[in-house]
Amino acid sequence: MADAGRRSTYATARQLWRQGARHFTRTHGLACPDFEQLPAGGAITPADAGFRSSLCHTQTLVLAAFNPGPIGVDAEPVDRQPPWQALALRWFSGPETDWLQAQDQPEDAFLMLWTLKEAWIKATGRGIAGNLQALVFDPEHNGVVLDRPDPAWRVATTTVQGHRLCVVWQGHAMPEWRHEGLIRDAHWHLHRVDSA
pLDDT in tens, 104-135: 999 999 999 999 999 999 999 888 777 888 88
pLDDT score for 37: 58
Among residues of the chain, what percentage have pLDDT more than 70? 93
Q: How confident is the model at residue 42 (pLDDT cuts 50, 70, 90)?
A: low
Rounded distance, CA 57 to CA 70, Å? 19
Rounded distance, CA 120 to CA 73, Å? 8
pLDDT score for 39: 59
Rounded distance, CA 113 to CA 137, Å? 7
- What ranges do the domains of the chain cover? 51-195
pLDDT score for 175: 84
pLDDT of residue 2 exceeding 80? no
pTM for this prediction: 0.88
Q: What does the pLDDT average to over 25-49?
A: 75
Q: How confident is the model at residue 103 (pLDDT cuts 50, 70, 90)?
A: very high
How buried is 142 (Cβ within 10 angstroms: 0-12 exposed, 13-18 middle, 19+ buried)? exposed
pLDDT of residue 38 exceeding 70? no
Fold of the 51-195 domain: Ribosomal Protein L22; Chain A (3.90.470)
pLDDT score for 18: 87
Q: What does the pLDDT average to over 42-50?
A: 75
